[in-house]
Amino acid sequence: MAQVPQTFFDALAVRTWCGLALESLGRAREEIDAINVYPVADGDTGTNLYLTVESAVAAVEAVFTAYDVGRPTLADAVRAMAHGALIGARGNSGTILAQLLRGMAQVLATDGETAHTDGPGLRLALRHAADSARQAVAHPVEGTVLTVASAAADAAGGAEGDDCGAVARAAYEGARAALAATPGQLAVLERAGVVDAGGRGLVAVLGALVETFTGETVAAVSGVHARVEGAPHPAAAAGDSAPLAAAEECADVLQAGGPAFEVIYLLEADDAAVARLRERLDTLGDSLVVVGGDGLWNVHVHVDDAGAAVEAGVEAGRPYRIRITHFGAGDVHTTGGERPAPERAQRAVVAVVPGEGLAGLYTEAGATTVLARPGEPPASGELVEAVRRAHAREVVLLPNDAELRHTAAAAAEQVRTEGIRVALIPTRSAVQGIAALAVHEPERRFDEDVVSMTSAAGATRYAEVAVAERQSWTMAGICQAGDVLGLIDGDVAVIGSDVTATAETVLDRMLSAGGELVTLVLGDEAPEAIAEHLEARVREAYLAVDTVVYRGGRQGALLLIGVE
């Protein structure tokens, strides 16, 4: 899409850059996956980079949406970008890209009130990004995305003037030249006849930065440009398996016997604990990258003992969003290619849940869960991964949030291309998901099961009790920061000062239209006696209405209420 050229970097430019970077990686994703041979030839670098940037885009959009009037500052936008990339980072290259964006944000957000920065500011941000990414990797290797990032920063440093466009173009050209040289720095790349996949992705991201400032689309870059003479072509015509076979053969020779698992998790911990964690994980495996700061980190490592890697995280702090990937059949690290793939189940349910307590409840009921922490909605790639993890021919998808409907629809569309039959039930709250799951019967025909679950969810009114974070206009009037809000079916219906009293008012309004079952899901900050008080209210005032209570953990809202 055409962009209006500008010479400075502001919040709107951050938003534009993220969007263009996602588009660029989307176009290049399959090619980047195909040339991915280092550090593991698992063919997912392009996808991991795309999912990382997708998470950054969602975070930046959320910041812009939060402003009813005006727009966020540059600091607001870059912090959101960095945080989104951190919590959504995938794989080795995605984790490094998250640190690159965080490094930029650390420079650009120094003065929280600055509306924009110029060329010198962008040069400094790119330099700090490259340096901080290199420091995040336990054992930096030349010929990788780190080399490309350093070359981009070096080239940007030589650009003259205050024009951000000139700085961005210099960084892009420096990165492109460094990318072309990567086969000469890593033997695995030279033998496969490809450039570094992570570096190729970074070039795409920097190309989007050039377009942000100049409005001009940069020339396409691919592994072809740096192909070693006589080496197999990494981007050959469709149906030609020789390039990937050559890449895998090369990696077999150079990396056989490497770790069998990739372990990634977010970690809440202090700096001292993370320093000890780095030392511990460095003894367990390789490809160690730990990025983040200010109490939140993204940990990535390749190990043989996945349990030990997670236990090390538990010792350091609080790990969550734990993802363990076994390098599959035919991969350079395993010899299990002769083992047949496990038989797919006929049907599964995949659900997004807002807290650890509900995740346990859904899991006990047989669902595959995706945890959505407050302010950290899952990207479509996480939902796709969960559907694949469910390993079923038919999948019922429960987003449990009105804001996730489009994300879930995109995920469903993607997995349908893989031959999986998916039905998306537009649940808008976890209590609607509970109602749907209660009537789920895998033995029924798929269509009948989906209709029954959809009817149960639709017959469940939902509400939540939360605390207002700032002054705002609502359907019930103006609320102030700290007010207790009662939302019914997504709209603010009650504004109060006491949590229990507000919850009782909300419950009475919901039951005034009738009901047979009340579901209460308590957040970890809900008052101790609130469940007992509401259960007593239902017994005394509403005959033949049952109440069930669950503990949702850190779910954002103080209380979720469902009335069937």
Q: Does 76 map to a domain?
A: yes
Answer positive or negative: Cα dihedral of 13, 18, 23, 29. Answer: positive
Tokens at 317, concatenated:
């702090």
DSSP H or E stretch at residue 60: helix 45-65
Q: How many domains does the chain have?
A: 4
Specify the CATH number for the domain of residue 217. 1.25.40.340
Asked whether the beta carbons of 370 and 386 are under 8 A apart, the reply is yes
Indicate if 226 and 237 belong to the same structural domain: yes
The pLDDT-based confidence of 222 (bands split at 50, 70, 90) is low
Mean pLDDT value across the chain? 84
3-state SS assignment for residue 183: helix
Locate 37 and state its tokens: 């041979």
- Beta-carbon contacts of residue 445 (< 8 Å; ≥ 6 apart): none
Q: Which pTM value belongs to this model?
A: 0.64
Q: Residue 473 pLDDT more than 50? A: yes
Residues 430 and 552 in one domain: no
Give me the mean pLDDT over the 458-469 stretch.
92
Residue 261, in any domain of the structure: no
Which of 483-488's residues contact partners 24+ apart within 8 Å by CB, and which partners? 487/463, 488/461, 488/462, 488/463
pLDDT higher than threshold 50 for residue 445: yes
The neighbouring-strand residues paired with 519 are: 548, 562
Sign of CA dihedral 279, 284, 288, 293: negative
Residue 263 belongs to a domain:
no
Tell me, yes or no, whether 184 lies in a domain.
Answer: yes
Domain contains 339:
no
The one-character DSSP state at 373 is B
pLDDT tens by residue, 379-404? 777 888 889 888 899 999 999 998 88
Is residue 370 domain-shared with residue 322, that is, in the same domain?
Answer: no
Domain interval for residue 428: 345-458
pLDDT per residue as tens digits for the range 95-114: 999 999 999 999 998 865 66
Quick one: 34 and 118 in the same domain?
A: yes
Last residue of a domain, one of 443, 458, 473: 458
**267 is a domain residue:** no
Does 206 have pLDDT greater than 60? yes
For residue 109, is it within any domain?
Answer: yes
What percentage of the chain has pLDDT greater than the value 70? 88
Q: Classify residue 382: in a domain, yes or no.
A: yes
Distance CA(94)–CA(91), nearest Å, equals 5
CATH code, 360: 3.40.50.510
442, 302: one domain: no
Whether 387 and 488 map to the same domain: the answer is no
Task: Tell me which of 429, 458, 487 is where a domain ends.
Answer: 458
Q: Please tell me whether residues 405 and 322 are part of one structural domain.
A: no
Do 96 and 18 fall into the same domain? Answer: yes
Tell me: do 400 and 354 sit in the same domain: yes
Distances (CA, A) of 272 to 76, 293, 317, 331, 499: 27, 11, 11, 36, 38
Tokens standing for 508? Answer: 């009475």
Q: Which distant-in-sequence residues (6+ apart) come within 8 Å of 314 by Cβ?
A: none
| Domain match, 421 and 358 both | yes
The strands making up 421-424's β-sheet, listed across from edge to edge, are 368-371, 345-353, 392-398, 421-424
DSSP structural state of residue 118: -
How many helices and strands, by DSSP H and E, does the chain display? 19, 18
- Check if the beta carbon of residue 148 is closer than 8 Å to that of residue 175: yes
- 114 and 144 fall within a common domain: yes
Does an H or E element contain 474, and which?
strand 472-474
Residues 471 and 532 in one domain: yes
Using CA atoms, how far apart are residues 138 and 232, in angstroms rounded to an integer?
32
Task: Determine whether 230 is exposed, middle or buried from the number of CB atoms within 10 Å of its CB (0-12, 13-18, 19+).
Answer: exposed
Which among 326, 358, 389 is the end of a domain?
326
What percent of the residues of the chain are helix, what percent strand, and what percent coil, each to the nearest 5?
A: 50, 20, 30
Report how far residue 398's alpha carbon sits from residue 442's, in angstroms, rounded to the nearest whole number.
15
State pLDDT tens for residues 323-346: 777 765 333 333 333 444 557 788
